[in-house]
Amino acid sequence: MAQQASAGRRCLRAFVSGFFVAVPVTVTVLDRLAYVARVEGASMQPFLNPDATSEGDVVLLNRWSVRKHEVQRGDIVSVMSPRNPQQKIIKRVIGLEGDFIRTLGYKKRYLRVPDGHLWIEGDHRGHSLDSNTFGPVSLGLLHGRASHIIWPPHRWQRIRAHLPPNRAPLYTDDEEG
């Protein structure tokens, strides 16, 4: 009987010590490397949430790639909403800092994306609160880059950067000679 109690205590001790190692490691991974998020709403249709009756796509958001603001035009990113810091929104990067873009209803028809900012838009025009509503978004609000759709299983795929038709910047800093 004493042996069983001793074995039980050893097992409990191993579990507790493993728990106190696993929790900080998991929190660090989620904070530094990646996390998952459910995409809600219609703003990214048809690419994300193409079936309005489903619960929404779940995407893997890569935090590591955005730590040094390594994003490109056409990436889908998660940013903290400029209107509500408690909310994260998922949109497509249309313009990088220095790009000249044509807006879709912003107060200026043409705009140079300021240094340290991005121009982001939802794919479903007219159903998205995005840069056309609140302007360029600070790189400091960048939270993650969507790399894969991981749910539902029939939608599993890697997400590649691409710009919707007619949304390429008019001029980019890349074009300087």
DSSP 8-state class, residue 140: G
Structure tokens, 17: 């010590």
Selecting among 78, 91, 128, 147, the annotated active-site residue is: 91
What does each of the 177 residues of the chain score in pLDDT, given as a tens digit? 556 666 667 777 776 666 666 666 665 565 667 788 899 989 999 999 998 767 889 999 998 877 777 899 999 999 999 999 899 999 999 999 999 999 998 999 999 999 999 999 999 988 899 999 999 999 999 999 999 999 999 999 999 999 998 899 998 876 654
The CATH number of residue 165's host domain is: 2.10.109.10
Q: Is the peptide bond before 85 cis (omega within 30 degrees of 0)?
A: no
Report the chain's terminal Cα–Cα distance, integer Å. 82
Residue 52 sits in the same domain as residue 96: yes
Residue 67 sits in the same domain as residue 119: yes
Residue 90 sits in the same domain as residue 66: yes
**Residue 91 is a catalytic residue:** yes
Residue 28 sits in the same domain as residue 40: no
**Residue 108 is a catalytic residue:** no
Residue 1 sits in the same domain as residue 49: no
- Full residue range of the structural domain in which residue 23 is found: 1-32
